[in-house]
């Protein structure tokens, strides 16, 4: 009975890869870098991931599930939506995006070179779902009267663009002031002025 593949080791490699891919991009990151960061030998990386590409693919696609859970579950509570719930939802989004620095940089890397990475497709699909949710929120808000007349499509595009831009344009995200700025600005996209 030999040692079975250790899920823990896989995770360490995965995390090391995500960290390095996000800081240095795909090509600049070497398997050796990853193995050292993960504290395993060079060859071990290939025990858990067939290719460098497969490892990158995992880094792009696997965290998407967590995103789906965090971002799309608001769908079920649309009926009870209020202006306060919206505000807390937006705050949650901002916080979540600012937290997932490593992952979103990798996503940014893929988005920036869409012809190069086939993973783009999955990201597009997720973006689509997210914008659908936003549109449903806007529609509900207008019906309930706590959001001003707006084009739900436009807010869908604008809100996602803003979340990404907030995360990707600035480096200094420990800054509380910045976080608050983003929360307020995001609400303005929904037409909420304060």
Partner DNA sequence: CATGAATGAGGCTTCATTCAT
Partner DNA sequence: AATGAATGAAGCCTCATTCAT
Residue 145 interacting with DNA (CB under 7 A) = no
Rounded to whole angstroms, how far apart are CA atoms 152 and 5? Answer: 48
Q: Token digits for 48?
A: 């858990």
The least distance separating DNA from the CB of residue 62, rounded to whole angstroms, comes to 18
| Nearer residue to its own copies within complex by CB, 142 or 158 | 158
| Nearer residue to DNA within complex by CB, 46 or 126 | 46
Tokens 């998407």 belong to residue: 64
Residue 165 interacting with its own copies (CB under 8 A) = yes
The least distance separating DNA from the CB of residue 61, rounded to whole angstroms, comes to 17
Q: Token digits for 188?
A: 């303005």
Rounded to whole angstroms, how far apart are CA atoms 112 and 134? Answer: 24
Residue 160 interacting with its own copies (CB under 8 A) = yes
DSSP code, position 186:
H
Q: Which of 23, 25, 37, 47 binds DNA (CB under 7 A)?
A: 47
DSSP code, position 99:
H
- Binding positions for DNA, rule: CB under 7 A: 1-6, 9, 28-32, 40-44, 46-48, 50-53
């Amino acid at each position: 009975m030999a040692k079975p593949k250790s899920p823990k080791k896989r995770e360490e490699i995965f995390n090391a890869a995500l960290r390095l891919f996000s800081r240095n991009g795909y090509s600049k990151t070497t398997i050796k870098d990853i193995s050292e960061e993960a504290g395993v030998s060079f060859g071990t990386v290939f025990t858990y991931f067939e290719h460098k590409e497969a490892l990158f693919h995992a880094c792009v696609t696997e965290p998407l599930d967590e995103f789906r859970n965090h971002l799309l579950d608001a769908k079920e509570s649309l009926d009870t939506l209020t202006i306060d719930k919206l505000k807390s939802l937006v705050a949650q989004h901002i916080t979540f995006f600012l937290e997932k620095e490593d992952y979103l940089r990798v996503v940014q890397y893929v988005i920036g070179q869409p012809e190069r990475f086939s993973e783009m497709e999955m990201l597009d699909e997720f973006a689509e779902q997210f914008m659908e949710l936003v549109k449903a929120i806007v529609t509900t808000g207008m019906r309930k009267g706590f959001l001003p007349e707006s084009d739900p499509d436009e807010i869908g595009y604008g809100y996602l663009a803003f979340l990404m831009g907030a995360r990707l344009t600035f480096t200094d995200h420990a800054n509380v002031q910045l976080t608050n700025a983003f929360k307020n600005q995001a609400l303005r996209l929904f037409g909420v002025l304060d």
